[in-house]
């Protein structure tokens, strides 16, 4: 007899067997009698140090008496130094010149001394500047010459002179950090260019982009109902004005986002120049959930060895796109309870010496399981019943 290990009665015991071994190992480690500690001893310390003779012979006294005795025995020294008298800072005489003007006047004074043999400008901080001729070089002509030289010096100082060795702003040296970042970006790009994994990822992205652009640019075949005559012999009926293609759901399914749903045609239809007969199976894909609707679309049809690119939207018999799935308060309530329950579950146990690795492994497995269960509970799903009438419409 050949056993099929994929059956639940064989695979479930095989899955549970490692967990049974792990739990038995933990139980044996916890219940090991050799590691049980002996009876506790009295924690009271019996060997207390004896009291010194000085304390034993001293008389009992209150806090006030002890303070007075301590004060009598003090020597009066303190760690706090004597506080010096506060000395008020003498106010400095105000000046009519700022620092820039003072420096400029000092430079002018140096120029005047070098040119006119000691004649200078004395700057008094509290008053305006005064001219003081040095030696016997006094007179009106000397004063006039000094005033003229001073005016020329002031005119030169007012004009901004170009700095020697200055570099234009546009040729300024770039920031070192910015240059370092650019160099690191270049090194990273060169390293990624030689990485085969990065190349494969880029190639995969390029192929996906090409597939997306190809699907968008791919021309869809127009789909309509077949207008062939009735198969009945010599039957005269009024022309039908229906433009919708009727079909039914051909399977019971609990669908998630991306699930496939089988649909069976109830009448002939034309996809371009191809005739698709009644009873042909079409496969729709669930592409989203909105409110109480399940949106589905048919993107391709297999007919006579050809893949026909189409776009058919599935409409319910109420005229709205998608299938109507009524909401259930109990379903939402159970989803919320399951989500909160899986988020709150944790494995609380202190890891011992020999059980630390096992408990860490169990903790990781437990967290992964609760995360997967919570994600499955939060995922949108809908039950679609067999024999549900739908309409296929080409937008």
Residues 6+ apart with CB under 8 A from 137: 116, 117, 118, 119
Tell whether the model's pLDDT for residue 38 goes beyond 80: no
- In order of 223, 301, 323, the CA distances from 275 in angstroms are 10, 11, 26
Element (H, E) at 158: helix 140-158
> Which pLDDT value is given to residue 330?
46
Backbone angles phi, psi at 43, to 5 degrees: -85, 0
| Average pLDDT across the chain, whole number | 72
Range of the domain at 307: 222-227+243-395
365 in the same domain as 261:
yes
Question: Tokens at residue 338, please?
Answer: 């399951």
Residue 64 lies in a domain: no
Tell whether the model's pLDDT for residue 309 goes beyond 60: yes
> Which pLDDT value is given to residue 23?
86
Supply the CATH number for residue 293's domain: 2.40.128.260
> Which pLDDT value is given to residue 283?
92
382 in the same domain as 274:
yes
User: Taking the CB of residue 363, how many other CB atoms lie within 10 A of it?
Assistant: 15
- Cα–Cα distance for residue pair 7/159, rounded to 1 Å: 99
371 in the same domain as 251:
yes
Average confidence (pLDDT) over 87-110: 77
Greater pLDDT, 316 or 135: 316
- Range from 86-95, 132-141, 380-389 that averages highest in pLDDT: 380-389
Tell whether the model's pLDDT for residue 333 goes beyond 80: no
Residue-wise pLDDT for 160-210, tens only, equals 555 555 444 555 556 777 877 887 887 777 777 777 777 778 888 888 787
Residue 124 lies in a domain: yes
State the Cα angle at 254 between 248 and 257, rounded to 5°: 95
- 128 neighbors 104 (Cβ within 8 angstroms): no
Question: Tokens at residue 110, please?
Answer: 């140096």
In sequence order, the β-bridge partners of residue 261 are 284
367 in the same domain as 260:
yes
Residue 62 lies in a domain: no
Greater pLDDT, 141 or 360: 360
Instruction: Please give the share of the chain, as a percent, with pLDDT higher than 90.
Output: 4
Residue 72 lies in a domain: no
Residue 75 lies in a domain: no
Tell whether the model's pLDDT for residue 102 goes beyond 70: yes
Lowest mean pLDDT among 25-29, 51-55, 311-315, 329-333: 329-333
> Which pLDDT value is given to residue 126?
44
Find the DSSP H helices in 159-295.
Answer: 176-193, 196-217
Tell whether the model's pLDDT for residue 66 goes beyond 70: yes
Residue 392 lies in a domain: yes
> Which pLDDT value is given to residue 247?
92
* Domain count across the chain: 2
Domain end position, chosen among 90, 117, 150: 150
Burial class (CB in 10 A: 0-12, 13-18, 19+), 294: buried
């Amino acid at each position: 007899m050949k056993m099929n290990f994929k059956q639940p009665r064989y695979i479930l015991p095989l899955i549970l067997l490692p967990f049974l071994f792990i739990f038995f190992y933990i139980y044996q480690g916890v219940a090991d009698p050799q590691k049980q500690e002996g009876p506790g001893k009295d924690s009271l310390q019996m060997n207390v140090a004896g009291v010194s003779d000085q304390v034993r012979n001293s008389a009992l006294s209150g806090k006030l008496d002890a303070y007075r005795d301590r004060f009598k025995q003090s020597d009066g020294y303190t760690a706090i130094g004597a506080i010096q008298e506060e000395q008020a800072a003498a106010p400095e005489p105000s000046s009519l010149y700022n620092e820039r003007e003072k420096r400029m006047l000092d430079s002018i004074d140096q120029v005047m001394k070098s040119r006119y043999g000691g004649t200078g400008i004395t700057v008094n901080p509290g008053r305006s500047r005064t001219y003081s001729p040095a030696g016997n070089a006094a007179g009106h002509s000397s004063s006039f010459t000094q005033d003229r030289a001073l005016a020329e010096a002031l005119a030169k100082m007012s004009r901004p002179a170009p700095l020697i060795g200055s570099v234009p702003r546009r040729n300024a040296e770039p920031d070192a950090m910015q240059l370092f970042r650019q160099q690191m970006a270049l090194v990273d790009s060169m390293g990624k260019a030689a990485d085969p994994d990065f190349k494969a990822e880029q190639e995969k992205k390029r192929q996906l982009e090409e597939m997306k652009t190809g699907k968008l640019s791919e021309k869809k075949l127009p789909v309509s109902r077949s207008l062939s005559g009735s198969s009945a012999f010599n039957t005269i009926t009024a022309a039908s004005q229906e433009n919708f293609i009727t079909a039914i759901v051909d399977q019971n399914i609990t669908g998630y986002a991306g699930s496939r749903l089988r649909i069976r045609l109830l009448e002939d239809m034309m996809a371009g120049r191809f005739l698709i007969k009644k009873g042909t199976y079409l496969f729709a894909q669930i592409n989203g959930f909105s409110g109480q609707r399940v949106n589905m679309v048919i993107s391709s049809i297999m007919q006579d060895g050809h893949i026909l690119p189409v776009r058919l939207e599935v409409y319910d018999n109420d005229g709205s796109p998608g299938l109507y799935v009524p909401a259930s308060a109990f379903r939402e309530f159970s989803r919320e309870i399951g989500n909160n329950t899986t988020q709150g579950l944790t494995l609380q146990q202190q890891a011992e010496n020999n059980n630390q690795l096992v408990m860490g492994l169990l903790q990781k497995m437990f967290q992964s399981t609760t995360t997967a269960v919570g994600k499955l509970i939060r995922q949108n799903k809908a039950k679609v019943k067999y024999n549900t009438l739908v309409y296929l419409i080409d937008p």
